Amino acid sequence: MTINPKSTKPIMGKLPFNMNDAKYPISYIQGKYLLFDVEAIQYFRQKYHILGILSGTLPQLPQQNIFLGLPLQLTNEEVYYLVNNGAAYIIDDQRVHIDYFNGLVDDDRKFLADKRQKMAIEQLLTTRAKENEKKIKIMKKINKEIPLDTLEYDPTQPVNLTMVPVDTNTKELNRDHLETFSLGFPEIKRRRYLIFESLVNNGFFLNPGLRFGCDFVAYPGDPLRFHSHYLVNGYNWNDEIPLLLLIGGGRLGTGVKKAWLIGGEEEEQEMHDSTASDENNSATTYRQFSVEWSGFG
């Protein structure tokens, strides 16, 4: 389900990259929200506590699952939070690329193809030179001649463009052009987003909690410096939570040296003070509760 965005105060200053305003494009590709720019990733991590998940693999190792790189994949809650705070907007990446490619003339296409070809040739010759250096060292040890690779390019041989680096810098993007391909807010579950927003606004960093059977795992600071403190689940205020689930959540948290944290948006506030203003009485608040097993800590 989608919920109407709430107006919250952004925790940001001026972006470090050359954009016309404080918004940054998030690419929507095949149902996933991706960031390709290192500066944007660094900025969102520092200012908004947005972590994401690195999902890029090396071309020759497409099935690797450690030491991943760009792009950074964002969850729906992270994207919603950034868009809601005015720090980003979503673009249909496929439409942007098709529109850009269709706008190129033949000379532009030839220039780009020649540029990639030149980079591939330079990469090939550099690799050959390094291999020759290794062969020379081996020849000195075994005192035997080994044929060296030629350092001249044969234009009749095809060049592998797979390993040619692709520029992912988006500093020169025309924001006015990208705005025409912008999308709305992503689909989210209200109960999950509200606890995500509440904890992030209170300084926590959140990662997906799938391996612990919860919505999120909460860190008191950057996960590179801190261990997680909470297993997090969001609920609607009137949801019934079975007693066995309360016990299981508390024991699971204790077993992994964490506390189980649950939260929900209080729909109605009771009047605790007869002198309180009507505005305060009608306001909704988000409340969290932690469950710990006896002897925790």
- Tens of pLDDT along the chain (297 residues) come to 434 333 333 333 334 444 445 688 999 999 999 998 888 999 999 999 999 999 988 777 777 777 888 899 999 999 999 999 999 999 998 888 788 777 777 777 788 788 888 888 888 888 888 988 888 888 888 888 888 888 888 777 777 776 666 655 555 556 666 767 788 899 999 999 999 999 999 999 999 999 999 999 999 999 999 999 999 999 999 999 998 888 888 888 888 989 999 999 987 654 344 344 444 444 568 999 998 877 655
Query: For residues 160 and 182, what is the distance between their CA atoms, to the nearest angstrom?
Result: 35
Residues 91 and 173: their CA atoms lie apart, in Å, by: 12
CATH code assigned to 189-297 = 3.40.1350.10
Do residues 206 and 196 make contact, with C-beta atoms less than 8 angstroms apart? yes
CATH numeric code, 1-117+172-187: 3.40.1170.20
Active site residues: 219, 227, 258
Beta-strand runs (E) in the chain: 24-29, 32-35, 53-56, 69-74, 88-92, 182-183, 205-208, 216-219, 230-234, 259-266, 285-291
CA atoms within 13 A on the CB side of 94: 6
208's tokens:
């997906």
pLDDT at residue 166, as a whole number: 61
Domain map (residue ranges) of the chain = 1-117+172-187, 189-297
Torsion of CA 208, 30, 67, 35, to 10 degrees: -80
Is there a contact between 232 and 209 (Cβ–Cβ < 8 Å)?
Answer: yes
Angle 211-217-219 (CA atoms, 0-180°, nearest 5)?
140
